[in-house]
Amino acid sequence: MKRDLSTEEKIKAAARKVFMTKGFDGCSVRDIAKEVGSNVALLNYYFRSKEKLFELIFEGAMSDFLQSMMAVFSSDRPLKEKLELIIDQEFDFFMEHPELPMFILHSIQQKNVKIPMPREVVNSIANTGIFEQFEEAKKKGEVRDISLRNTIILIMSNMHYPFMSKNLHKALHQIDDQQVNNDLLIHKKYVTEMIINYLFITNPKA
């Protein structure tokens, strides 16, 4: 049946690479075909169109994007540990995939491509029980009076943005890649301390 089992996968890998770096509007299907080492008809044979292929890639990327946060939310730990772990894992993950945040956020912002934000993702966040755990901690006075939504904004801002602004940072301070990456590592250290210290009340109930 299948001459080469991985043809479909090779196309997906190439598409992911090209979409990720150039964006949906910034590349042609022939760019992807060239990356595969084949021609455009093959792409439309396996996937029906550029748009369908993109949606597939985007869904996978979106899953990766939220993966570590979801995994930690679902785990069975005290809230403080969870947040510390999220920051730690998110950061390390994006250190390996620095182009992911920009790809996801830019794709979402340009709504010419419809965003598959499955209700299951939204529900699965709620189903982790993180909302209840958070409210509990607030009631106990362990955590500052802040919504989980705002906490997520806080964490994401400091986890995603530094990778999205690498080139700006580089140009702004006229530094090289190594120094940029060094600044990123330092950022992680500061931000962990800052966020945890801010959210959690050290001397609860006086």
Partner DNA sequence: AGCATTCTTAAACAAATGTTTAAAAAGAGT
Partner DNA sequence: ACTCTTTTTAAACATTTGTTTAAGAATGCT
Residue 21 as a binder of DNA (CB under 7 A): the answer is no
Q: Given the complex with DNA, which of 27 and 199 has the nearer CB atom? A: 27
Dihedral sign computed on CA atoms, order 110, 111, 113, 118: positive
Contact flag: residue 1 with DNA (CB under 7 A): yes
Residues 9, 21, 30, 161: which binds DNA (CB under 7 A)?
30
Under the binding rule (CB under 8 A), the answer on residue 102 touching a copy of itself is yes
Segment contacting DNA by CB under 7 A, of 21-29, 57-65, 117-125, 151-159: 21-29
Phi and psi based region of residue 23 (left: phi greater than 0; alpha: psi -120 to 50; beta: remaining): left
What is the SS3 assignment for 2?
coil
Q: Which is nearer to DNA, 49 or 123 (CB)?
A: 49
Asked if residue 143 lies in contact with residue 151, where contact means CB atoms within 8 angstroms, the answer is: no
195 membership: H or E segment, kind and range: helix 177-199
Read off the tokens for 116: 């598959």
The answer to the question of residue 124 lying near DNA (CB under 7 A) is: no
How far apart are alpha carbons 197 and 119 in whole angstroms? 33
Please name the residue that has the structure tokens 């939504």. Answer: 149
Least distance (Å) from DNA to the CB of residue 186?
40
Backbone angles phi, psi at 200, to 5 degrees: -95, 130
Interface residues toward a copy of itself, by CB under 8 A? 22-23, 25-26, 99, 102, 104-106, 108-112, 115, 117, 121-122, 125, 146-147, 149-150, 152-154, 156-158, 160-162, 164-169, 171-175, 183, 186-187, 190-191, 193-195, 197-198
Interface residues toward DNA, by CB under 7 A? 1-4, 7, 27-31, 38-45, 48-51
